[in-house]
Chains A and B, each alone.
Chain A
Amino acid sequence: MSGMNNQGRPTAAGEASSSSFETYTGNKGLRLEEPLIFELDNPGATGVDLDEPEGYEPKLGAFERKARIGLPGMSEPDVMRHYVRLSRKNYSIDAGLYPLGSCTMKHNPRLNEKMARLPGFADVLPLQPQKTLQGALELMDTLAHWLKELTGMPAVAMSPKAGAHGELCGMMAIRAALVARGEGDKRTRILVPESAHGTNPATAALLQYKVDAIPATADGRVDLAAFKAKLGPDVAAIMLTNPNTCGLFERDIIEIADAVHEAGAYFYCDGANFNAIVGRVRPGDLGVDAMHINLHKTFSTPHGGGGPGAGPVVLSEALAPFAPLPYVVHGADGFRLVETEGEAKADGSHPFGRMVAFHGQMGMFVRAMAYMMSHGSDGLRQVAEDAVLNANYVLASLKDHLSAPFEGPCMHEALFDDRFLKGTGVETLDFAKAMIDEGYHPMTMYFPLVVHGALLIEPTETESKHTLDQFIGTLKHLAQAAKGNDKSRFTGAPHFAPRHRLDETLAARNPVLRWQAETPKQAAE
């Protein structure tokens, strides 16, 4: 150990200070700023190597595009870095609890991703000869079987692309059934509880139905008397979410279903909250006629930053004949896809039409199938039980610190209102944004509309008790801080995110919806 420099690298913590200063790059350590791809344009650079084609005479007629399109040039490493840097500005379920009520942000198993990428599923075109697609049709048929068993319903329309699309499909089946019995023009009203998702009234309106709101009782459920008073020969259907958007099971649901059917109407159930009851309660046993299933909620196909989803719709005996094209049947020669009205008629069906090109969200079907097979009937029942247990644990632990509008037990989500913030100057929005500073995604806020300043927490079954305890501790701490006049902590929140609160009014008043070469920083100045 002779002449070497023995000073060594300092290992003390240094002089940490809370001072803030502007960096040259605008980055703050791992908090990175990133330009738009158009601002990274390196003309002539490309991230793919393609040879110029030769030896052909173009057959474009008079349709050749002449002008520059305006796409930026980037090499592969530049593209990789750009999107990786963007990704780091996002919160994700893989990185932390994502307590968005009504959204069911649960763990997304990667086995499902792997299965969806098998060439036999991922690299087949929907219009190949059917004999080359027997495995794909088998998968659709198997998934359909699971969905029917889990819901206790005899039929399922697989093609809808998302929950709201499934709603539209289910309501179209209802309308087709009404038309078939000569009551299409007579039944023009849809009953929808005040607490419903916005998609319910929007869907009814798309079908030209008049939306009639059903009030809620003080215990957060459909007012049975008010509901019955609204029933009549002009009612086409009720659209009811169960468990409802307050996270409560509708105790009178069977009586509601019976009354709906007695009045000659149908029962559409919004299945967004199926996660709470899967394996324990079958909608078919409750008198439901149609219900969409968000595969991206209950069956864990990833939300992907806002899609793609998938919304198959289970149908009762009364509605099954009207299911849209296409559908899979199983015959002597294997599986067959019924694609045209002519074929369907030969089968004795009366499909109301077609929801979408091709056959539905196959990529999502494979993921959901892998999820279901992994859990099995026993695991799926456990999913519902743990989801409900976790939500009730949150509700019980926080009801004396926040304020809960309804008595428990709740189902899979715990609802709070803003009474606990009264007099603090802190609003629901501020409270939720303060969650970001604590490293969480906020809960759903201001929904359902029937509760003032609502905070809706859905922990899901894939959170551990340890994670929940920390989350509960955080909320208790924040509630105390709000009550303790620590207002600026909330109204300025988030303080530690890639961006502070954004000016949404400016965005709507002066919409800048694309990058423009001339005015790259127009809105920023």
Chain B
Amino acid sequence: MRYLPLTQADRREMLGVIGAKSVDDLFRDVPERARRDGFVDLPRRQGELEVERALTKMAAKNVSADSVPFFIGGGAYRHHVPSVVDHLIQRSEFLTSYTPYQPEITQGTLQYLFEFQTQVALLTGMDVANASMYDGSTACAEAVLMAHRVTKRKKAVLSGTLHPHYRAVVENLCEAGGDPVEALAPALPGKTEDIIARIADDTSCVVVQTPTYFGELIDLRAIADAAHAKGALLIAVVPEIVSLGLVTPPGEMGADIVVGEGQSIGNGLNFGGPYVGLFATRTKYVRQMPGRLCGQTVDAEGKRGFVLTLSTREQHIRREKATSNICTNSGLCALAFTIHLSLLGEDGFKRLARINHANAVKLGSALSGVAGVELLNDAFFNEFTIRLPKSATTVVDALADKGVLGGLPASRLIPGNATLDNLLIVASTEINTDQDRADFVAALKEVL
């Protein structure tokens, strides 16, 4: 087998040194009835060519986003990733190293994590960020638990326009700890959600997403003030991090914790994972943060260096008293993020955001020019919601048959709510061309 260097001669010689008669001898602690003699009932080994052939065939059964006019978002966004990114993250020294527990020989990883933390803090307008979480949804749930620790309260209030998957993940984790969650009903763009009325003396945090599941931008200032007046924290959720190139960051609107999905920068769609969860907060809450943190220090010669720090929060030190059981970050995805953002820089990042917004605005006006279609949003970034004259699921299905992947039916993630049946959530990024838009509009006219 090409990945296994030992030869039969090696194995014999090594067994001799060990003093074992056979490899079976080394497995003698396994209870006899659990030892398997033959091979498991699965195919035998294959060469590269055969594996490649089989998997390529499987992959070809999917409609990839690069092959059609593509307008789906819903918490994952298709952006162009410069070729430098994928080259660099495949360097052996990044790809095949472990968590940087030995800082003397992992300064490469540690330094990019420090740069990443700084970038995330800058984007969100917060003081500090951690070295990343699994993804946006788990970052959101961990933020709620952190708010519980900070406020010593147990009840979270969730906006009805939080991504339904995020809501489910928060509910699941809170339920695990026996903590109550109050989730509002989804308010459509243009309708006001009175979340402030739900903030009570036992509220630990309010969780508000912007842009929302429906793409609407939300003013967090009044919510932050109301939360703080009651001693609660405001957790802002940013599902599309590119928006922060153009939109006021939650940190400037009073958020105490900002979580987000960083996939848009440097990372592909990957059918939902791996992604990179962003987590930022105020300095005063740092010791209640979950996840890895990289900090600056000096070495024995006084030279600047970086280490994982404040690990007394973490499971490998604190065990059952840890702030979280998390034992991983999204290291390589965070690296892709930080490289892409370095390439963009201040000017490039802002311009990328403007292009996204411009494309979405143009698409919004083109679609709302189709008879029976109504654009619902007042303020949006690169995603918005339209009302169709018929079921959005049916329309999306028919569009797919015409070779256009034209958005996410709102009801797919919130089933059983009749007011959502005709709503379609549409995203547009820098990948979309004028031709894509024209194809979408033409196809939509045909299927309506």
Contact = CB atoms under 8 A, between A and B. Distances in A.
Contacts of B245: 65, 69
Contacts of A225: none
A199 interface: yes
A118 B55 contact: yes
Contact of A91 (B10, B48, B106): B106
Interface in A344-363: 352-363
A487 to B, nearest CB: 16
B137 A357 contact: yes
Interface in A111-147: 111, 113-129, 131-136, 138-139, 142, 146
A203 B325 contact: yes
Instruction: Output the residue of A45, A86, A498 with the most chain B CB within 10 A.
Output: A86
Interface stretch (A415-423, A477-485, A504-512): A504-512
A95 B131 CA distance: 25
Contacts of A161: 134-135, 138, 273-274, 328
Nearest to A461: B4
A259 to B, nearest CB: 14
A333 to B, nearest CB: 13
Contacts of A261: none
A131 B1 CA distance: 37
A254 interface: yes
A303 B4 contact: no
B60 A120 contact: yes
Contacts of A43: 346
A310 B119 CA distance: 26
A521 interface: yes
B40 A500 contact: no
Nearest to B360: A59
Interface string B104-120: 11111101101101110
Nearest to B40: A377
A330 to B, nearest CB: 14
A418 B182 CA distance: 53
Given A50-B430, A366-B55, A83 B339 contact: yes
B96 A373 contact: no
A108 interface: yes
Given A73-B347, A515-B118, A125 B44 contact: no
Contacts of A254: 31, 33-34
Contact of A360 (B11, B273, B327): B273
Given A72-B346, A119-B67, A92 B300 contact: no
Contact of A501 (B51, B100, B299, B400): B299
Interface in A244-260: 248-249, 251, 253-254
Interface in B310-324: 310-312, 314-322, 324
Contact of A48 (B82, B219, B297, B312): B82
Interface in A466-525: 467, 492, 494, 497-504, 506-508, 511-515, 521, 523-524
A124 B84 contact: no
Interface string A33-64: 01011100001111110111111111111111
Contacts of A83: 88, 91, 112, 335, 339, 342
Interface residues of B, number: 213
Interface in A194-240: 197-199, 201-208, 211
B107 A498 contact: yes
B407 to A, nearest CB: 9
B345 interface: yes
B138 A165 contact: yes
Interface string A281-298: 110011000000000000
Interface stretch (B194-202, B223-231, B372-380): B372-380
B117 to A, nearest CB: 5
A375 to B, nearest CB: 6
A357 B166 contact: yes
Interface string B128-149: 1101101111100000000000
B217 A441 contact: no
A198 B328 contact: no
Nearest to A60: B379
Nearest to A494: B104
A162 B134 contact: yes
Interface residues of A, number: 208
Contact of A71 (B90, B328, B344): B344
Contact of A122 (B23, B118, B269, B302): B269
A47 B310 contact: no
A454 interface: no
Contacts of B172: 172, 324, 352-355
B18 A280 contact: no
B92 interface: yes
A375 B45 contact: yes
Contacts of B29: 248-249, 251, 409, 411
B165 A357 contact: yes
B438 to A, nearest CB: 15
A444 B132 CA distance: 24
Contact of A386 (B6, B27, B122, B269): B6
Contact of A389 (B11, B89, B91, B93): B11
A208 to B, nearest CB: 6
A281 B121 CA distance: 47
Contact of B1 (A63, A340, A379, A467): A379
Contacts of B136: 357
Contacts of B135: 161, 356-358
Contacts of B73: 125
Contacts of B413: 127, 339
Interface string B40-63: 111111111011101110111111
Contacts of B128: 513-514
B99 interface: yes
B134 A95 contact: no
B325 A377 contact: no
A362 B320 contact: no
Interface string A384-411: 0110111011011100000000001101
Nearest to B28: A409
B285 interface: no
B322 A129 contact: no
A423 B8 CA distance: 42
CB-CB nearest 5 A-B residue pairs: A120-B59, A358-B272, A61-B379, A135-B61, A47-B343
29 contacts: A47-B344, A56-B361, A60-B246, A60-B379, A61-B378, A76-B82, A83-B88, A89-B108, A105-B98, A115-B56, A119-B65, A119-B67, A120-B56, A128-B400, A132-B62, A132-B63, A132-B400, A139-B55, A149-B42, A172-B176, A202-B322, A205-B325, A206-B176, A208-B178, A324-B172, A374-B2, A377-B41, A500-B299, A523-B297
